[in-house]
Amino acid sequence: MMHTNKTGIVLLALVLMAGLAQGEDKPQTKDGFVPMFDGKTLDGWKTTGNWVVGEGGVVALKPRPGEHGWQRYAAYLMTERTYKYFVLDLEFKIAKEGNSGVFFRVGDPLDPVKQGIEVQILDTHGLENPGQHDCGGVIGTAAPSKNMAKPAGEWNRYVITCFENHLTVVLNGENIIDLKLDESAMKDRPVEGHIGFQDEAKLVWYRNVRIKELSERPQTG
Which residues form the domain of 205? 30-213
Please report whether residue 1 resides in a domain. Answer: no
Residue type, 134: D
Q: What is the mean pLDDT of residues 7-11?
A: 41
How many residues are given for the chain?
Answer: 221
In a domain, 193, yes or no: yes
Q: Where are the beta strands (DSSP E) in the chain?
A: 34-35, 45-46, 51-53, 59-61, 77-79, 86-94, 99-106, 117-122, 156-163, 166-171, 174-180, 194-197, 204-213
Has residue 165 been placed in a domain? yes
Phi and psi torsions of 11, nearest 5°:
-65, -40
Average pLDDT of 203-211? 98
Domain count, the chain: 1
Residue 8 lies in a domain: no
pLDDT band at residue 30 using 50, 70 and 90 as cut-offs: low
The CATH number of whichever domain residue 150 belongs to comes to 2.60.120.560
In a domain, 24, yes or no: no
Task: Express each pLDDT in 63-104 by its tens digit.
Answer: 999 999 999 999 999 999 999 999 999 999 999 999 999 999
Give pLDDT, residue 165. Answer: 97
pLDDT for residue 24 is more than 60: no
3 state DSSP class of 49: coil
Please tell me the predicted confidence (pLDDT) of residue 9.
Answer: 40
Instruction: Give the confidence band of 218 by pLDDT, cuts at 50, 70, 90.
Output: confident
Distance (Å, whole) CA 221 – CA 170 = 13
Residue 11 lies in a domain: no
Phi-psi region of 32 (alpha: psi -120 to 50; beta: other; left: phi over 0): left
Q: Does the residue 140 lie in any domain?
A: yes
Return d(Cα 16, Cα 44) in angstroms, integer. Answer: 30
Main-chain dihedrals φ then ψ at residue 98, nearest 5 degrees: -70, 155
Mean pLDDT, residues 112-136 taken together: 97
Is 160 among the domain residues? yes
